[in-house]
Amino acid sequence: MHLPIQNISFDKLNSPLITDKNITLTVARLDKIHPDVSGNKLFKLHYFVEECIHTDHKTMLSFGGAYSNHLVATAYLCKEKNLKAIGIVRGEQPKVLSHTLLKCKEYGMQLKFVSRKMYADTADDNFMQDLKRAFGNFTLVPEGGFALNGARGASLIQNIIAQENASHICTCVGTATTLAGLLMSNKPEQTIVAIPAIKNMTDINDRIALLTGNTKSKELEIFANYHFGGYARYNNELIQFMNDFYRAYNIPTDFIYTAKMMYAVMDQIKKNYFKPSSGIVCLHTGGLQGNLSLPVGTLIF
């Protein structure tokens, strides 16, 4: 493993809401692996890094927007492994770089901004040829690690949480690569609970099939209605929840992914979705650096 995983803790939530239902709820703190880098991203990148360190070019190239947790994770791992990192960023270069992109640069990533139109065409052969001419050979990592290698990397998370013997493993969903990885390595009696951070994400099963070659819909539960209006949308209720959750359990969440997951799980506990004696493990995938885009003072942590 290329990851500082010794920092991960398993925080059991103690509250009457949970104990009265005779269930357990544990948060697997992948966010503790690194303050700036989403835990699940590091896992998704594992096999790409493995591949890249055995090449001559020792260069990774990937894609993302100005707030991409994936680009920061790529930049960080490349720095750790002495690999060259190139980030292709969606949109024209802004006058002031986002905190996310500044972090990428701090880790030594070379950034190249491309128009949204060009970015939409990253699968285009000409675009790839241009990138090859500009940067030479590289290990290509699709946006969000959305590839078999990304899912294989995410499946390693199962080893980390195996001792928890979860009946349910909950994760938030962006590209569904992490979810696909969990479904590659779950035990048949384990349900994987997916909470999309995106509105109307109707292609989750197709994405899983594309990444892993099969769907295991029997072992998958999707709670589709906790996106709070869509990707990166939030309202007072969500912010209040994040602050209350932090006060009660001392666990910070991010407003794009993990807060929506925890909100969903707590709500479904109230609604008795989880049977007595369920052992729920929620993956805290990180993403905390994204909270920096909220107005100062919004959160108490």
Ligand X SMILES: *Cc1c(COP(=O)(O)O)cnc(C)c1O
Choose the binding region for ligand X from 47-55, 108-116, 250-258, 291-299 (rule: CB under 6 A): 250-258
Choose the binding region for ligand X from 37-45, 91-99, 232-240, 266-274 (rule: CB under 6 A): 37-45
Within 8 A by CB and 6+ apart from 241, the residues are 259, 262, 263
Buried b (16+ CB within 10 A) or exposed e, 102-122: ebbeebebebebbeeeebeeb
- The answer to whether residue 177 forms part of the interface with ligand X (CB under 6 A) is yes
- How many residues interact with ligand X (rule CB under 6 A)? 20
Q: Which amino acid is at 237?
A: E
What tokens were used for 198?
A: 């995106």
Phi, psi of 222 (to 5 degrees): -115, 120
- For ligand X, the binding residue among 24, 40, 186, 253 (CB under 6 A) is 40
* Alpha carbons 91 and 281: distance in angstroms, whole number: 37
DSSP 133-176: HHH-S-EEE-GGG-SHHHHHHHHTHHHHHGGG--SEEEEEESSS
Residue placing its CB nearer to ligand X in the complex, 166 or 197 = 197
* Alpha carbons 157 and 41: distance in angstroms, whole number: 11
- The answer to whether residue 252 forms part of the interface with ligand X (CB under 6 A) is no
Q: Which amino acid is at 215?
A: T
Site for ligand X in 116-145 (CB under 6 A): 144
- The answer to whether residue 287 forms part of the interface with ligand X (CB under 6 A) is yes
Residue placing its CB nearer to ligand X in the complex, 190 or 258 = 258
- The answer to whether residue 176 forms part of the interface with ligand X (CB under 6 A) is yes
- The answer to whether residue 8 forms part of the interface with ligand X (CB under 6 A) is no
- The answer to whether residue 253 forms part of the interface with ligand X (CB under 6 A) is no
- The answer to whether residue 100 forms part of the interface with ligand X (CB under 6 A) is no
- As a residue count, the chain comes to 301
Q: Whole-number minimum distance, CB 282 to ligand X, in Å?
A: 11
- The answer to whether residue 175 forms part of the interface with ligand X (CB under 6 A) is yes
Choose the binding region for ligand X from 129-137, 155-163, 173-181, 217-225 (rule: CB under 6 A): 173-181
CB-nearest residue to ligand X: 287
